Structure formats: C-alpha cells, structure tokens
Amino acid sequence: MNQPLSRWQRLWRWLKHPLWLGIPIGIFVLVLMGAGFQGVMVASNQNAFCFSCHLSMDTIVQEYKASPHYVSDGDVYATCADCHVPHPFIDKMKVKIAATADIYYMMTGKITKENFEEHRPELAQMVWDDMEADNSANCRHCHAGDNFLLSEQPQRARLNHVQMDKRGETCIDCHTGIAHKRIVIK
Ligand code: HEC
Ligand code: HEC
Ligand code: HEC
Ligand code: HEC
C-alpha cells in the first residue's frame, strides 16, 4: 500500500498546490530579476506568502491563529513577517536568501509534516539566536513608547520589565512561545 513518494512525486505534488501558482513563484522570480524591488519586499511580507508553505507543511499557522497576536483573518496585531523579517533592508535580503534555501530543503524533503516536531527545537533555536542578537528588535518595533507604558501594566509584568535592562534581559528571554507551541530545550 503506502509506497513512499519519490523525490519527484513529492516535488510535483508540492508544485501543483494551487497557492503556488499565484503568489510565491511570481514573487521569487521578481526578486531574482530585481524588478519592482521595493514593491516585492512589501508583498512578500504579507501573511498569504508565508501561509502558502507553512499552512500545509507544519502546524505553525494553526498555532499562530490561536495566539494573542492573531484576531481574525482580516485583522491581526502582528503578521508572521512583523515578528520574523528584520526591518533594516540588508537584513531583509538575508532573510529572503534564507527563505530561498527553505524551498530547497522542502523540495529535498528535509522537513515534512511528519518529521517537523523533531526539527522544531533546532528551528526555534535559530529564531531565538536571531532575537537575542538584535535585542528582540521586531518586538520592540511595536512594544515601545506609548505602547509599552510600564505605569499601565499589571504589577507582575511591570516588575519584570522595569528590571530587564539592568539585568541584561531581552523580550525573548521571557516570552518564548508567544505565537507557537512553546518549545522547551533542556
Ligand atoms: C517556499 C516555502 C516557504 C515559504 C514561502 C516560507 N517558508 Fe518559512 N520555512 C520553510 C521551510 C521548508 C522551513 C524549514 C527549513 C529549514 O530551516 O530547515 C522554514 C522555516 C522557517 C523558520 C524557522 C527557521 C528560520 O530560518 O528562522 C521561520 C521563522 C520561517 N520559516 C518563517 C517564515 C516567514 C515569516 C515566511 C513569510 C515571510 C516564510 N517562512 C515563508 C518554507 C517556507
Ligand atoms: C506588529 C506589532 C507587534 C509585534 C511585532 C509584536 N507585537 Fe506583541 N502585541 C501587539 C499588539 C497590538 C498586542 C495587543 C495589545 C497589547 O497587549 O499591547 C500585543 C500583545 C502582546 C502580548 C500580550 C499577550 C496577551 O496574552 O494578551 C505580549 C506578551 C506580546 N505582545 C509580546 C510580544 C513579543 C515577545 C514580540 C516579539 C517576539 C511581539 N509581541 C511582537 C503588537 C505586536
Ligand atoms: C524578565 C522577564 C521578562 C522580560 C525580559 C520581558 N517580559 Fe514582558 N512580561 C513578563 C511577565 C512575567 C509578564 C506578565 C504576564 C505573564 O504572566 O505572562 C509580561 C507581560 C508582558 C505584556 C502584557 C502586558 C499587559 O499589559 O498585560 C507585554 C505586551 C509584554 N510583556 C511585552 C514584552 C516585551 C515587548 C518585552 C521586551 C521589550 C518584554 N515583555 C520583556 C516578563 C518579561
Ligand atoms: C508575535 C511574534 C510572532 C509571530 C506573529 C509569528 N512568530 Fe514564528 N516564532 C516567534 C518566536 C518567538 C519563535 C521562537 C520559538 C518560540 O519561542 O516559540 C518563532 C518560531 C517560529 C518557527 C520555528 C519553529 C518553532 O516552532 O519554533 C517557525 C517555522 C515560525 N516561527 C514561523 C512563523 C510563521 C509562518 C508565522 C505566521 C503564520 C509566525 N511564525 C508568526 C514569534 C512569532
């Protein structure tokens, strides 16, 4: 019965997924050609682009939809890209290139829905390392100034936040699992 799919069958099954025809291929071709550069960057930052792979590939999207930054399909506090794509332009390019590598890994079957959980700790660690390295810059892009008033926070939050700079802590030190299943590495 259940014959394992060959690499080519898997590639084909993946390519014929309808979402593929529209958004991502077009975006990648445009990125590679360097055409309409700025516009492409904005378009690929929308959730639909990230969903096109992550919806069927793993459980990331479902978890995000149950998290506090998601309200409804038309209304979110933060998109995937808001948390994961760095703001400065050079960093954006770095992430685009890494995303192209992601395609390669998916085609060669390194990550599948079946083995996703095994790979999660290593993927989560990559994200944590990025956030440690830039002092959780993407979180701070929104949670700053009037959107991060210590005086308006509940005591437990305030007591932690007031000390974090002095203690050399950053958002992700305490807020892991904010958008996905919390991964614990021991
Ligand atoms: C073409 C398919 C595809 C698209 C589109 C895609 N991803 Fe991924 N993504 C993957 C695969 C496959 C992996 C696991 C690859 C690996 O690192 O081994 C991955 C891993 C990740 C990781 C964890 C590893 C890391 O690099 O930090 C994050 C975070 C991520 N994707 C976010 C996003 C966001 C945000 C978007 C939309 C801007 C997006 N992805 C669009 C296929 C895709
Ligand atoms: C695009 C803007 C944006 C980004 C990026 C963002 N947030 Fe939020 N976040 C919000 C908004 C809006 C709310 C809801 C209003 C509020 O609680 O301030 C929220 C709520 C929260 C809450 C309260 C959750 C609850 O249970 O109600 C926490 C904790 C939080 N964010 C942490 C983070 C962390 C950590 C990051 C980075 C990994 C991050 N946020 C990135 C906009 C953002
Ligand atoms: C030392 C740990 C720690 C650090 C570092 C930290 N937080 Fe928190 N944060 C907490 C705790 C504890 C709460 C209380 C809610 C809870 O129990 O999860 C909280 C609550 C919040 C809330 C909800 C506040 C409300 O009004 O209810 C937001 C938003 C938030 N944190 C964002 C951030 C952001 C953004 C950063 C980085 C700038 C950050 N936190 C850094 C521990 C921390
Ligand atoms: C509020 C910020 C936030 C949003 C929104 C968000 N993520 Fe994440 N993501 C994180 C953090 C933080 C981690 C690091 C692991 C952890 O603490 O959960 C992470 C980890 C990941 C991983 C690595 C696997 C894992 O479970 O850790 C992937 C893949 C990923 N995110 C993709 C996405 C995609 C795709 C979306 C949109 C559907 C998205 N993220 C939305 C903050 C966010």
pLDDT tens readout for residues 51-68: 888 888 899 999 999 999
Which atom, in ligand 3's list, is nearest to the CA of 136?
Answer: 37
Give the model's pLDDT for residue 144.
95
Give the model's pLDDT for residue 50.
86
Question: Comparing 40-44, 117-121, 130-134, 171-175, which segment has the lowest mean pLDDT?
Answer: 40-44
- CA dist 157 and 155 (Å) reads 5
Name the residue of 69, 79, 102 whose CB sits within 8 Å of the most ligand 1 atoms, as the mutation to test its pocket.
102
Which atom, in ligand 1's list, is nearest to the CA of 110?
Answer: 18
Indicate the domain borders of the chain: 7-174
CATH tag for 7-174 (out of 1.10.3820, 3.30.70, 1.10.150, 1.10.287): 1.10.3820
Identify the H or E element spanning 76. strand 75-76
Question: Comparing 27-36, 76-85, 92-101, 174-183, which segment has the lowest mean pLDDT?
Answer: 27-36
Highest mean pLDDT (candidates 11-15, 36-40, 68-72): 68-72
Q: What are the φ/ψ torsions at residue 167 (nearest 5 degrees)?
A: -85, 0
Q: What are the φ/ψ torsions at residue 10 (nearest 5 degrees)?
A: -65, -45
Beta-bridge mates of residue 137: none
DSSP labels for 114-143? TTHHHHHHHHHHHHHHHHHHTTTHHHHHHS
The 10s digit of each residue's pLDDT in 16-46 is 555 554 556 556 655 555 545 555 566 666 7
Protein residue closest via CA to atom 10 of ligand 3 = 157
Protein residue closest via CA to atom 19 of ligand 2 = 69
Question: Computed over its alpha carbons, how large is the radius of gyration of the chain?
Answer: 19
Ligand nearest to the CA of 68: 2
Give the model's pLDDT for residue 37.
52
Give the model's pLDDT for residue 105.
75
- Which pTM does this prediction carry? 0.88
Give the model's pLDDT for residue 98.
80
Q: CA angle, corner 25, sides to 21 and 29, nearest 5?
A: 145
Give the model's pLDDT for residue 185.
80
Q: Is the CB of 83 under 6 A from ligand 2?
A: yes
Give the model's pLDDT for residue 111.
80
Give the model's pLDDT for residue 1.
41
Q: Is the CB of 77 under 6 A from ligand 1?
A: no
Q: How far is the CA of 48 from the centre of ligand 3 (A)?
A: 28
State mean pLDDT over 137-164: 96
- CA dist 110 and 142 (Å) reads 34
